[in-house]
């Protein structure tokens, strides 16, 4: 048995672990990175990267169908396998950045084995025992497949297998109407599949319902069947003829099944009890400093049980690196974290939704809106479906919700404002180039100040006085 002593041992080479490893080793800490599966984790291999690549293929197909501006739409010829080749090429292009070779080149000791704790200060990975001053658990999460009766005997996909499918599904049934389910529904529909989404509650139920309705209306208009409020109760059949029966007895039959109902933390292999680390169903129990019940052990990213986004994993890495390497106090916050559902149109959120802001701030809240239909660039490009809502308390934004073209790009300015405590005047003072969709943000800020200027009798009285006294 080999033994290694190191400053830092990171378990998991996904977004969180890789960000931390790169920063730590370059700042002078001896670093061991343990990974038993694929470098790059879920985001590169099964999540963000392949899903956005497949969505891009679907968007190309839909662009050919859409008529307008003097151009006649045509039905495209879709090569589903070639679309999956595009997905694989995108992954392969990014993979070197996350590779074992790159991190070994930086000076990280990469061990390609699964790890398990054998004491509060030791981790065994294959035939190596690592003793570290600090450990960071960054093992991420995996798709959760609920124990629906019959599921164990029926072939089904998750996000970990759907991108390897080469034969185009004739009829894809998706259980789960969250962001993953809706993105895959639209992508597959645009690539020529019949698609049914079955959601036990409300589709996109964690987002602002007004904005989610815009997404759902468009997806339904493209031909996706979205069934809400019906829980899958029984699954039967075989590949090519799969049946899903809901609790009310409704039966749906398709050729392929995708489970997209949520995630579970990857903690089963770690034997965390040996290290004195407490867990919940959501993951490792951590405080705002991302420390577990063992003060030597941190958890970051999905496995920490909070928001499950790649950019949050990277943010967590930045938080703990200050604590571990520089002994500086550092705590994670969530109020400034944006997220995006990459349907067409996109849906983006940062901070509080309108409902959350009203519950928290009551009469102190001001909500301003601006529709894409008032934006000249949106009019010129035919992307007028969409709106922005900004929630404001005492002159500062506490949340922003955007649905529409490039919403994921537009939300960044509000994430910046909330992260740095900027006032609405900072957005209003910005000069946005014309004509751009970015003017949507400035017009939203203008909607906040306009009543204060144009509907204020004291302003009008002051203007009249000035005009009388000016020579």
Looking at residue 465, what is its pLDDT? Answer: 84
Give the span between the Cα atoms of 378 and 376, in whole angstroms: 5
What's the whole-number mean pLDDT along residues 293-301? 98
pLDDT band per the 50, 70, 90 thresholds, residue 56? very high
> Do 212 and 178 touch, CB atoms closer than 8 A?
no
Please report, for residues 9, 21, 118, 290, the alpha-carbon distance to residue 138 in angstroms, rounded to integers and kept in the order given.
Answer: 10, 11, 18, 11
What's the whole-number mean pLDDT along residues 331-354? 97
Looking at residue 177, what is its pLDDT? Answer: 98
Looking at residue 456, what is its pLDDT? Answer: 75
Looking at residue 151, what is its pLDDT? Answer: 97
Looking at residue 459, what is its pLDDT? Answer: 74
Please report, for residues 3, 111, 116, 130, 378, the alpha-carbon distance to residue 122 in angstroms, rounded to integers and kept in the order given.
Answer: 10, 15, 9, 6, 57
The alpha carbon torsion through 180, 355, 211, 372 (nearest 10 deg) reads -140
Give 263: exposed, middle or buried? Use CB within 10 Å, 0-12, 13-18, 19+: buried
What's the whole-number mean pLDDT along residues 232-243? 96
What's the whole-number mean pLDDT along residues 236-242? 95
List of domains in the chain = 2-39+99-143+264-326 (3.50.50.60), 151-262 (3.50.50.60), 338-454 (3.30.390.30)
pLDDT at residue 82 tops 90: yes
Q: Which parts are annotated binding residues for FAD?
A: 52, 115, 139-141, 302
What's the whole-number mean pLDDT along residues 344-350? 98
Q: What is the pLDDT of residues 88-119, one digit of tens each?
A: 999 999 999 999 999 999 999 999 999 999 99
pLDDT band per the 50, 70, 90 thresholds, residue 146? very high
Q: Which parts are annotated binding residues?
A: 52, 115, 139-141, 176-183, 199, 262, 302
Q: Please give the structure tokens belonging to residue 97.
A: 């950045």
- Strands 241-246 and 232-238 turn out to be antiparallel
pLDDT band per the 50, 70, 90 thresholds, residue 253? very high
Q: Which residues contact 391 (CB under 8 A, 6 or more apart)?
A: 351, 352, 353, 354, 357, 365, 366, 367, 397, 398, 399, 400
Among 100-114, 125-139, 232-246, 441-455, the range scoring the smallest mean pLDDT is 441-455
pLDDT band per the 50, 70, 90 thresholds, residue 355? very high
Q: Which residues pair with 236 in a beta bridge?
A: 243
Looking at residue 453, what is its pLDDT? Answer: 67
Among 131-145, 166-180, 441-455, the range scoring the smallest mean pLDDT is 441-455
pLDDT at residue 197 tops 80: yes
Q: Kindly state the percentage of the chain with pLDDT values over 70.
A: 100
Q: What is the pTM of this model?
A: 0.95
Q: Which parts are annotated binding residues for NAD(+)?
A: 176-183, 199, 262
pLDDT band per the 50, 70, 90 thresholds, residue 469? confident
């Amino acid at each position: 048995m080999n033994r290694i002593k190191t400053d830092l041992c990171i378990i998991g080479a996904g977004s969180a672990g890789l960000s931390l490893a790169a920063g730590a080793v370059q700042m002078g800490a001896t670093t061991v990175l343990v990974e038993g599966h694929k470098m790059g984790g879920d985001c590169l291999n099964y999540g963000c990267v392949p899903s956005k690549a497949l969505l891009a293929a679907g968007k190309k197909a839909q662009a050919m169908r859409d008529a307008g501006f003097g151009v006649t739409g045509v039905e495209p010829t879709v090569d589903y396998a070639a679309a999956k080749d595009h997905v694989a090429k995108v992954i392969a292009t990014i993979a070197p950045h996350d590779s074992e070779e790159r991190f070994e080149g930086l000076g990280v000791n990469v061990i390609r084995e699964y790890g398990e704790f054998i004491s509060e200060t030791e981790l065994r990975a294959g035939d190596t025992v690592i003793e570290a001053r600090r450990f960071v658990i960054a093992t991420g999460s995996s798709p959760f497949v609920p124990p629906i009766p019959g599921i164990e005997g029926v072939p089904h996909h998750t996000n970990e297998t759907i991108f390897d499918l080469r034969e185009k599904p004739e009829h894809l049934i998706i259980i789960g109407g969250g962001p993953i389910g809706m993105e895959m529904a639209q992508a597959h529909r645009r690539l020529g599949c019949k698609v049914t989404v079955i959601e036990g509650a409300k589709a996109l139920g964690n987002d602002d319902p007004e904005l989610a309705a815009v997404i759902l209306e468009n997806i339904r208009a493209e031909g996706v069947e979205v069934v809400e409020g019906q829980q899958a109760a029984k699954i039967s059949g075989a590949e090519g003829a799969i049946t899903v029966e809901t609790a009310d007895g409704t039966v749906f039959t398709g050729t392929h099944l995708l489970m997209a109902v949520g995630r579970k933390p990857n903690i089963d292999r770690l034997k965390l009890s040996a290290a004195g680390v407490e867990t919940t169903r959501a993951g490792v129990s951590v405080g705002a400093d991302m420390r577990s019940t063992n003060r030597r052990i941190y958890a970051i990213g999905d496995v920490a049980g909070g928001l499950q986004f790649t950019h949050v994993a990277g943010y967590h890495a930045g938080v703990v690196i200050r604590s571990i390497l520089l002994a500086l106090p550092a705590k994670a916050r969530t109020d400034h974290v944006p997220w995006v559902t990459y349907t067409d149109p996109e849906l983006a959120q940062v901070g509080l939704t309108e409902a959350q802001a009203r519950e928290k701030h009551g009469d102190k809240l001001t909500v301003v809106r601006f529709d894409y239909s008032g934006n000249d660039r949106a009019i010129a490009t035919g992307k007028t479906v969409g709106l922005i809502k900004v929630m404001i308390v005492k002159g500062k934004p506490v949340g922003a919700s955007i649905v529409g073209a490039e919403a994921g790009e537009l939300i960044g300015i509000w994430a910046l404002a909330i992260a740095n405590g900027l006032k609405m005047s900072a957005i209003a003072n910005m000069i946005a180039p014309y004509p751009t969709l970015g003017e949507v943000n400035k017009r939203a800020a203008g909607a906040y100040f306009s009543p204060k200027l144009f509907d204020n009798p004291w302003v009008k009285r002051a203007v009249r006085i000035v005009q009388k006294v000016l020579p």
